[in-house]
A and B are shown apart, each in its own frame.
Chain A
């Protein structure tokens, strides 16, 4: 019996030993954690690792633990979970629109007092819109995108259109789309605008081109049912239903670039984040241009920012700020833009020889930057996930003919207002 009890205790000890964790002691070096989302299939992790190695060479007393969290959503989940356990990282790259969620949970530090004015002014205003509230800056733009029009020059030639003159406005877009649609779309569609995943983002582009943005800057109000929103939605619906230049119903975000590359569609609205992908894989001549205007040009920005977390020991905070500055130096921002296709976030990055030379060889890389003049912030509100989902659902319900434009947008507005009500003090 004794033996049994003893062996049992032993088993238990082994089990419990497996559950305990080891602590590493820090000596003179300061360790900071840096969470980073890696979209599947990029060499992004390698580039970031290179940045980290260079930084540690310059600062031997700081150690950066780069942690890769998968998609933006997964990274956010991991950061939130560790923050809830009282173990938040020093830095993380997260969606710029997660700002309000992070604020609501009181997790991030205001950056305005920690950086010089000139440094912050170097970032493009279009990107700063999502990074600050009023004149308080909360995060630094890092990998940012906008929506651009990709078009197939060969298809343009074939349809008798000038391959150097993409559509400038909505009327032309429809007109060209009709010329480019072959055999009722069976052989080729004129245009595809994705309507899964980020349909709110595409909608914003159309709304901005028509009138204004769809939410207030403080993230407490939305304008889903404004007249310009309705006009934007009517137009989007008409592309498939009335003009027959785009497939009807819902179009999958991920298949749009493959459709474009395989010649199933002659034009597409997509993120600049896809520029490098299209450049490497298109076996035809393609062009990139501003999104066609209605009353004006317009596109929302997108992508991720670097956030600094709260309640850090002094030396960790200093090390983290040092690393933030390092990541946003012009040369590095330029390199990042070339490697990924994201828009460089600072004016000075475009002054570097590196980017100057690249843009000369590959002019499409400039389109997104020039469109920044007309760029506005991406949909960001309190309870962002929920508001975004409400709006996304209703856009789909309109596009699939389940509800008429007016009714769908009114419903979306009503539901979103209910969610935002507690924040209206």
Chain B
């Protein structure tokens, strides 16, 4: 009995020590994550000018949900997500499978596909601003050769979203490719050998061996890609400011506008809460639902 007690207490002591070691990180998390989150939730129930906030309850939530710009922004963000995530995942996997082969120049190719990742998004935005410039931009110059007239890619609501999506795919696919390369290096050889003995064709190999075995990587990369599609907004600041007429506006940029151009902190807090809920929802869906359907 006594020995058992001592064991417990030593276990408790060990736990306490572990908690102790985690404590500094916990302080930082509280200061810079939990506290601002709670503060935003609190702030979302207040409205009015910054220095004279009034309690308004759920009034602002109603206002935001009825706001047509908000709806447009959410819709844009969904389009942006659907446009960027599957394509960049597919491209990343495709590139990784090809570059995983031992061939001449594979390091050079890997580097060149990976390099857009290293460039900051603001710089990428400036590069692509030049590409998309009507008349003398790179893209228009290229299309002139095929007799196509000038296109105002970023100035037309019908093309601006596509332009943004293409740019983000260019930037992200190389980043995700690295994860897939790492995943491929870890796949067991013997399964492939067995496949070869059975006379499986390359596509069958991919379909029944590579793809399922890469699922954990895909899941991880998918979470990163989806959250990225809500976080990547720096380029809007440089390229379109969310225009024309909100055609390229995204949720996070919309929050920025509400907070720092309209000084409507209450509304910005409501939007922030909505963003947090969306992010938590995506993460929970991935980890609680999809995670169980995968063989590790």
Contacts and interface: CB of A to CB of B under 8 A. Distances in A.
Nearest to A15: B24
B24 A186 contact: no
Interface stretch (B46-54, B81-89, B114-122): B46-54
Contacts of B136: 262, 264
A12 B246 CA distance: 47
Contacts of B13: 1
Nearest to B265: A84
B156 A400 contact: yes
Given A12-B24, A264-B135, A393-B246, A197 B154 contact: no
A383 interface: yes
A383 B50 CA distance: 11
A386 to B, nearest CB: 4
Contact-residue bracket for chain B: 35 or more
Contact of B262 (A247, A255, A389, A400): A389
Interface stretch (A44-52, A100-108, A159-167, A213-221): A100-108
A84 B53 CA distance: 11
A8 B25 CA distance: 12
A83 B244 CA distance: 33
A248 interface: yes
Given A186-B150, A247-B134, A400-B156, A385 B51 contact: no
A259 to B, nearest CB: 8
The residue among B133, B136, B257, B263 with the most chain A CB atoms within 10 A of its own CB is B263
Contact-residue bracket for chain A: 35 or more
A278 interface: no
Contact of A83 (B51, B134, B156): B51
Nearest to A1: B13
A11 B23 CA distance: 10
A424 interface: no
Interface in B76-112: none
A224 to B, nearest CB: 15
B77 to A, nearest CB: 17
A105 B154 contact: no
A19 to B, nearest CB: 8
Given A73-B261, A249-B152, A385-B262, A12 B23 contact: yes
A105 B20 contact: no
Contacts of A386: 261-262, 264
Contact of A396 (B129, B133, B244): B244
B155 A250 contact: yes
Nearest to B240: A196
A22 B16 CA distance: 34
Contacts, number: 101
B296 to A, nearest CB: 36
A392 B244 CA distance: 9
A402 B157 contact: yes
A186 B244 contact: no
A251 B155 contact: yes
B62 to A, nearest CB: 14
A47 to B, nearest CB: 27
A389 B257 contact: yes
Contacts of B69: 393
Contact of B49 (A77, A105, A249, A393): A105
A12 B240 CA distance: 46
B243 A396 contact: yes
Interface string A61-101: 00000000000010011001001100000000000000001
Given A389-B261, A396-B244, A106 B52 contact: yes
The residue among A252, A392, A393, A402 with the most chain B CB atoms within 10 A of its own CB is A252
Contacts of B244: 196, 249-250, 396-397, 399-400, 402
A394 interface: yes
A117 interface: no
A74 to B, nearest CB: 9
Nearest to A106: B51
A17 interface: no
Contacts of B245: 393-394, 396-397, 400, 402
Interface string B130-161: 00011110000000000000101011110000
A105 B27 contact: no
Contacts of B1: none
Interface in A373-388: 383, 385-386, 388
12 contacts: A8-B21, A8-B23, A80-B50, A105-B51, A106-B52, A196-B244, A247-B135, A247-B150, A250-B152, A250-B243, A392-B243, A400-B156
Given A196-B244, A252-B154, A389-B262, 7 more contacts: A105-B263, A106-B52, A247-B152, A249-B156, A386-B264, A393-B243, A400-B155
